[in-house]
Amino acid sequence: MNNINDKTKRRLIVASGLIVSVILIVLITNQFKKEPIEDAVLPNQSIETNDIIVEKPVITGKEDEIIVPEIEIPDTEKADNGAIDTGTEQTIQRDVEKPKEPTEEQLTDPTQKPNGEKVEIPLEPVEHDKVEKPAEAPKSNDEPQGGDTNNGKIYVPGFGWIDDVGEGQGTTVDGDGDINKQIGNMD
């Protein structure tokens, strides 16, 4: 093939690529082609059919003699939730009664709530800057405070009683502030 120049080589490569592409396209489209549906073979119509005969059943009793017992409706009773049970009608819940509006005196009285409940101590407004802060948090008798010790354990709020290991350890590392610099040996 040394006699063929570059232009001819390119044309042969492109032509062979096109031929291979056309062959692949034809093969792929044949895969999607639906096969024709064959006609179903019907059974032979010359077979004789049997006639179906329906006979009426014979009724021995008279329909007029059917006796239906009388339905008894219980007396009207009141249910636990206030609904009335008549036996034929069902009431889920009695109508809701709207409470009466409180009077103007009840709304403005500082010794009671609008619903009539008594308030023990009327609250007095205190200016924000004059609020006194307690010296220590109120200590409940049954719950320990943070730092309490008992039987070699120390109470830490949120964690409970943990072993008292004493003071923590700390070391000073000499470094120039480079965070990518190895500081120690982890072995």
**pLDDT, tens digit, 9 for 90 and up, residues 123-180:** 677 788 888 877 776 666 677 888 888 888 888 888 888 888 877 777 776 666 677 7
Amino acid 10: pLDDT: 92
- Position 22 in a domain: yes
Residue 24 structural domain: 1-31
Hey, what amino acid is at 135? A
- Position 70 in a domain: no
DSSP state of 61: S
To the question of pTM greater than 0.95 for the whole model, the response is no
Which residues, in sequence order, are CB contacts of 21 under 8 Å at separation 6+?
none
| pLDDT, average across residues 37-48 | 70
- Position 121 in a domain: no
- Position 135 in a domain: no
Total structural domains in the chain? Answer: 1
Neighbours of 106 (CB within 10 A): 13
* pLDDT digits 0-9 by tens, 54-85: 787 777 666 667 777 888 876 655 555 555 55
Which residues, in sequence order, are CB contacts of 132 under 8 Å at separation 6+?
none
- Position 13 in a domain: yes
- Position 19 in a domain: yes
Residues 154, 144: Cα–Cα separation, whole Å:
10
